[in-house]
Structure 1
Amino acid sequence: MLQSIDDIFRQARQGSVSAIIQILNEKLSDSGVRTRAMLDNGVLQLLCEAPDPHQLEQGALVQRVKSLLEGISPNKIRRVNINGRIAREQQLLWLDEIKRDPDSQLLWSEEVRLKPPNPVRRWWEDRKFNREEAAIAALHKKDKPKKETASRHFWRGLLVGGLSLGVFALLLGWAVSDWLGIQPPAWLAREPEVEEDVSPSPETDPEPTATPAAEPDPFVEAVRLAEQAATGGTTAETSADWLELASRWQRAADLMAQVPEDDPRYATAQDRTVSYSQNSEVATQEAETLREAAAGQ
């Protein structure tokens, strides 16, 4: 089954290089540019190829690629080295070739830094994706094969019908026995024995064992803090406000990092650990900018 656009975008945002290439190739198809990419020491090495040099005009292409990558905002990727080259045969070791002899391999090369995402917008988009995932999962769960549902109803009806027939036969047998004067078997006529209440008296009751308090869920607590921080980001005005938001984002990231690997939400928690930490850095930078502006007045 083909992946949906949302699935590809979500993987690209999580840092999947193959998903990033897929999105870039789709967006740049109108200009005849194809891309290849590799991560190299934290830097995304991006190769842009086209048959005609005019399709690889540096200024326009670099700006367009930078804008597309900032729209994706891939996790842990902030530095991108964009390389322009005339299209040639597929090279598995194209990055090694470029490093070995860049002058003969490339038309140009330019490194750019991606702007950090707006924390409020990033949190809202991630929340939207999670809601969509939950809705899709619920739809698949609800849309079960009709054959399976019909089979379940059949066996349920058969079981209920069998029990009803058995109860009816038992009542009919008792009625016929009473009418003919036949005594029921001793095991049916015997009254049930009443068990003596041997529950201990209050004086001898052992002291109730204290139930240990349930430990808070770090995932739920992290989401609660993130919601507070996102809401506060819309009203923060002073350096102190932004420092408080940075502290909340970092606390939310630390809690997400505590989610164990066997938890089904582990992958989501790891993704949010990174995004929450980035939000904390953005809030800290904003606080520093406001502090320097106030000091210069």
Structure 2
Amino acid sequence: MNNQTNDIFIQAHHGSVAAIILILNENLATLDVRIRAIFSDGVLQVLCEAPQVQQLEKSYLVEEVKQILETISPRNIQKVKINSRIVQEQQLLWLEDITRDPESQLLWSQQITLTKPNIFQQIANNFQRNKPKATKKTLSKNIYSRKTQNPNKFDVIGIFFMSMLMLTLGIQINRWFNFSGIDKITASENQVNQNLEDIEAKSKEAFNEAVRLAEKAVANGKTAESQEEWMAIAKTWEQAAELMTSVSPSYSRYDVAVNRAELYHRNSDTTRKKAEEVMNNY
């Protein structure tokens, strides 16, 4: 599991939006905040959704998202716009919706610029990420503390030579990572791609099976008469809803799955009421 997490982190660092979404959702799960994201016109658009306003407190959420993204340090992504809204039934084309009418669609939005870590922070992050108990907070800590109060001449000279030594060491380590570690990085990227493909395949299978069950429920509803038949149809609707709920946020038709899951739940409730009506008529 730790290797898989590292693989996803590497893929996110290389700019995979799907991997970034997975990491953000994992880190914000305890807040019951769901993340959507899309890279558009040079800006990573991030949408934070939650059932209640209290869960979307601006200053805290912006700082959390910023810290996570700066730890990932995704390539070619520097500008980020963080948007928030209460979870809505309609999820299709969310970026177009909030762009067209932000005042009615959003609680708030905040654009930020990610600070890229220097070479020493990158080395520290690489070592920290390989530790089993590392967290996003320890990953983002600076590995140096600087003297800022009244340095004398010898302190300045010492700091200069130490800086040069560490810079040289950092360059050599960075070269080692770039050359001797290239096979490992390539293997990790391939593993992440395989994991994402597996998630995509499972989500597609669940989506198609849910559609098949929904069609079956509709067909059976045209001929159902007894309470048992209506209850069986309600159960079919519920199974279809559960399959749609299992679809991953990284799946291309995830927004459709969310809408269908809600619709299938309502159809199940309606069908159960129909079964109760049939029973009461006897």
Q: TM-score, normalised by structure 2?
A: 0.46
Which protein has the bigger helix share? 2
Q: TM-score, normalised by structure 1?
A: 0.44
- The higher radius of gyration belongs to 1
Which is bigger in relative contact order (C-alpha 8 A, separation at least 6)?
2
